[in-house]
DNA sequence: CTATGGCACGGATT
DNA sequence: AATCCGTGCCATAG
């Protein structure tokens, strides 16, 4: 607490220091989308802020005019696999690239040609519709966003085409049930529910899954299992299993259904996350490519205090000088906090990509256990800073998978994947003790009881119910 | 008797 | 201070 005696009368200074701390912290724990909202509202309410359109590539120092990310420009020089290329990109760059991915790799696993999502869907349903309804369907499909979600309301569609709402609803239901299932839903929640519904026809689904989606989607995506468990009145473990099931089998953004691991036809690791906060990728054409780290940031680096505004503020007449000044201070504060936020994340990610390169490239079993605490020590920041930086954020791996950043701090992921592998390769169902013994040989000395726990987390049934793996 | 899951405790992590 | 995690003990099911 600051001594109030020698603080200048202006309350602004006082709030500036404390506000700086609190705002830096709160901004740090927001994900891109929340931050985006926050920045936008600030931007519209504070005339001192402006967006600088031109940006400089942190590597080649040239002005970036188009949306091409810059790491490629510097690719030929200094390529050490252990030296990640880190840069900050605008959220729009990402959106842009996202849709271009979609066009570049329309589909490889199913018979889909170069057509885009709307055409793809329309072809499937057209035979079942009358010509008039085909028009409506086409209209609906043309209003999908990149995620395959509907951006306008049913009412609007009905009004536009002068047809009853129920008719639109029927068409929409048809659309939602075609591949990719859930397209045309107005929200991720709807999409998930439709998928669950369809899935229910062919296989068993956890009974509480629907409630989890309906009432606990928020908790679900934030991985707040204890809260979810309370909501569903089940144990935390069961809640985790339900969440596991949902993220394994359902996809809140149907338009992105074929992203990432195309090779696993059956269980594409789709995630409940949409917009990653960090995107990791590799340079094409290098077998030992450095990891390209792209920090997706709403406007950071772009947002600045309008210089003209600052000049005018200094010359403002005394009666409204305070107003000018407060705008200016708020703007400075925001800019500074944003910079600090990105700076922290950049440092964090650079470090992580160096330490966990193998994990990022090769997968779960290569994750080296580390804690936020010791990472904080290595970076010379406070633990809580790392905690906040990790909180609520997601990372897109080179494979296309989007995972929570917290997964980098999963202390036993590698053991669990070893366990999964053992069970996958077993010829007869092994008991927990036997598994424990095998794990011990691999250098994971854990108790039999713990094997049971891991099994539960991974959704592996107990040995007496597991059926034999008879390889065909 | 064997294999498993629930509960609860203590130490580590956040 | 709150939460997570690994483990031991014990009840239960087969």
Cβ of residue A433 lies below 7 Å from strand B: yes
| Per-residue confidence (pLDDT) for residue A303, from 0 to 100 | 85
**Domain limits for position A419:** 413-458
Domain end call among A176, A198, A213: A176
The predicted structure's pLDDT at residue A273: 47
A5 is written with which tokens? 């005696």
Domain-ending residue, one of A130, A149, A176: A176
Exposure class string for A377-397: b at 16+ Cβ within 10 A, else e: eebeeeeebbbbbbebbbbbb
Please give the pLDDT value at position A384.
Answer: 93
Same domain, A227 and A324: no
- Residues 407-426 of A, Cβ under 7 A from nucleic strand C: 410-412, 415
Orientation angle between helical segments A165-176 and A154-161, nearest 10 degrees: 120
Query: Do residues A308 and A427 share a domain?
Result: no
Per the confidence metrics, is the pTM higher than 0.85?
no
pLDDT of residue A419: 94
Question: Are residue A317 and residue A249 in the same domain, yes or no?
Answer: no
User: Is residue A4 in a domain?
Assistant: no
Using the 3D structure, point to which of A196, A221, A256 is the last residue of a domain. Answer: A256
Residues whose CB falls within 8 Å of the CB of residue A264, separated by 6 or more in sequence, listed in order: none
Our measurement of CA A144 to C1' C3, in angstroms, reads 41
Nucleotides of B under 7 A from a protein CB: 2-7, 13-14
Distance A239 CA to B1 C1' (A): 33
User: For the stretch A209-237, what's the b/e string if a residue is b when 16 or more beta carbons lie within 10 angstroms of its beta carbon?
Assistant: bbbbbeebbebbbbbbbebbbebbebeee
Distance A449 CA to C9 C1' (A): 11
| CA A233 to C1' B3, whole Å | 27
Are residue A311 and residue A389 in the same domain, yes or no? yes
Q: Is there a single domain that holds both residue A425 and residue A310?
A: no
Long-range contacts of A178-181 (CB under 8 A, 24+ apart): A178/A121, A178/A124, A178/A125, A179/A110, A179/A120, A179/A121, A179/A124, A179/A257, A180/A148, A180/A251, A180/A254, A180/A255, A180/A257, A180/A258, A181/A254
pLDDT of residue A139: 79
Residue A100 lies in a domain: no
Number of domains in chain A: 4
- Same domain assignment for residues A340 and A399: yes
Q: Is the CB of A321 under 7 A from strand C?
A: no
pLDDT of residue A142: 77
A225 touches strand C (CB under 7 A): yes
Quick check: A446 CB within 7 A of strand C?
Answer: yes
Residue A344 and residue A404 in one domain: yes
CB atoms under 10 Å from CB of A322, counted, come to 12
Residues 445-464 of A with CB under 7 A from strand B: 448-449, 452, 455-456, 461-464
- From the CA of A450 to the C1' of C7: give the distance in Å: 7
* Interatomic CA–C1' length for residue A377 and nucleotide B12, angstroms: 16
CATH number at residue A142: 1.10.10
Protein A355 CA to nucleic acid B9 C1', in Å? Answer: 34
Query: Which structure tokens are listed for A114?
Result: 């170069």
Q: What pLDDT sits at residue A61?
A: 53
By C-alpha to C1' distance, C13 is nearest to A464
User: Are A324 and A251 within one domain?
Assistant: no
Q: Are residues A423 and A398 in the same domain?
A: no
Same domain, A385 and A343: yes
- C-alpha span between A53 and A57 (Å, rounded): 13
What's phi and psi for A126, nearest 5 deg? -50, -45
Separation in Å: B3 C1' and A272 CA: 35
In Å, what is the separation between the CA of A377 and the C1' of C7?
29
Nucleotide B5's nearest residue (CA vs C1') is A452
**Three-state DSSP class for residue A242:** helix
A464 falls within a domain: no
pLDDT lower than 50: segments of chain A: 1-13, 65-69, 74, 76, 98-114, 258-273, 470-472
Indicate whether A83 and A149 sit together in one domain: no
Q: Are A79 and A198 in a shared domain? A: no
Q: Where are the beta strands (DSSP E) in A13-117?
A: 49-51, 55-56, 63-64, 85-90
* Structural domain contains residue A430: yes
Question: Is A405 among the domain residues?
Answer: yes
Kindly state whether residue A399 falls inside one of the protein's structural domains.
yes
What pLDDT is stored for residue A101 in this prediction? 42
Q: Which nucleotide is closest to A460, CA to C1'? A: B4
Q: Quick one: pLDDT at residue A437?
A: 94
A276 found inside a domain: no
pLDDT in the model for residue A354: 93
Q: Is residue A182 part of a domain?
A: no
């Amino acid at each position: 607490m600051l001594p109030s005696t020698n603080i200048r009368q202006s309350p602004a200074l006082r709030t500036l220091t404390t506000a700086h701390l609190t705002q830096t912290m709160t901004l740090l724990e927001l994900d891109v989308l929340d931050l985006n909202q926050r920045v936008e509202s600030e931007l519209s309410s504070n005339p001192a802020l402006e967006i600088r359109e031109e940006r400089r590539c942190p590597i080649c120092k040239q002005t970036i005019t188009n949306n091409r990310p810059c790491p490629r420009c510097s690719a030929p020089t200094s390529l050490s696999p252990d030296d990640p290329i880190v840069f900050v990109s605008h959220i729009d760059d990402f959106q842009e690239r996202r849709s271009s991915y979609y066009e570049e790799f329309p589909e490889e696993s199913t018979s889909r040609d170069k057509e885009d999502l709307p055409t793809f869907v329309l072809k499937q349903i057209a035979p079942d519709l009358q010509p008039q309804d085909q028009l409506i369907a086409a209209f609906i499909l043309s209003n999908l966003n990149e995620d395959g979600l509907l951006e306008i309301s049913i009412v609007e569609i009905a009004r536009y085409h002068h047809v009853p709402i129920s008719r639109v609803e029927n068409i929409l239901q048809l659309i939602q049930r075609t591949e990719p299932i859930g397209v045309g839903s107005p929200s991720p929640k709807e999409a998930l529910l439709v998928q669950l519904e369809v899935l229910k026809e062919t296989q068993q689904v956890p009974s509480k899954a629907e409630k989890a989606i309906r009432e606990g989607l928020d908790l679900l995506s934030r991985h707040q299992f204890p809260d979810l468990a309370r909501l569903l009145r089940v144990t935390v473990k069961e809640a985790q299993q339900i969440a596991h099931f949902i993220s394994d089998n359902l996809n809140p953004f149907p338009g992105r259904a074929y992203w990432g691991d195309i090779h696993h036809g059956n269980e594409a690791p789709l995630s409940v996350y949409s917009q990653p906060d960090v995107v990791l990728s590799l340079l094409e054409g290098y077998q030992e490519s450095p990891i390209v780290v792209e920090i997706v940031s709403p406007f950071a680096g772009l947002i600045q205090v309008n210089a003209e505004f600052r000049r005018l503020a200094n010359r403002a007449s005394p009666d409204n000088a305070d107003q000018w000044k407060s705008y200016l201070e708020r703007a400075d504060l925001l800019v500074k906090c944003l910079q600090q936020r990105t700076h922290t994340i950049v440092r964090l990610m650079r470090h992580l990509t160096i330490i966990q390169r193998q994990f990022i490239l090769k997968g779960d079993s290569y994750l080296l256990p580390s804690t936020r605490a010791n990472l904080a020590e290595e970076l010379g920041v406070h633990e809580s800073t790392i905690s906040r930086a990790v909180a609520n954020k997601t990372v897109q791996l080179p494979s296309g998978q989007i995972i929570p950043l917290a997964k980098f701090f999963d202390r036993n992921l590698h053991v669990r994947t070893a366990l999964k592998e053992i069970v996958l390769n077993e010829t007869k169902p092994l008991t927990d003790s036997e598994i424990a013994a095998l794990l011990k040989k691999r250098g994971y000395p854990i108790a039999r009881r713990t094997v049971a726990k891991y099994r539960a987390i991974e959704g592996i049934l107990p040995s007496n119910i597991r059926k034999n793996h008879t390889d065909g």
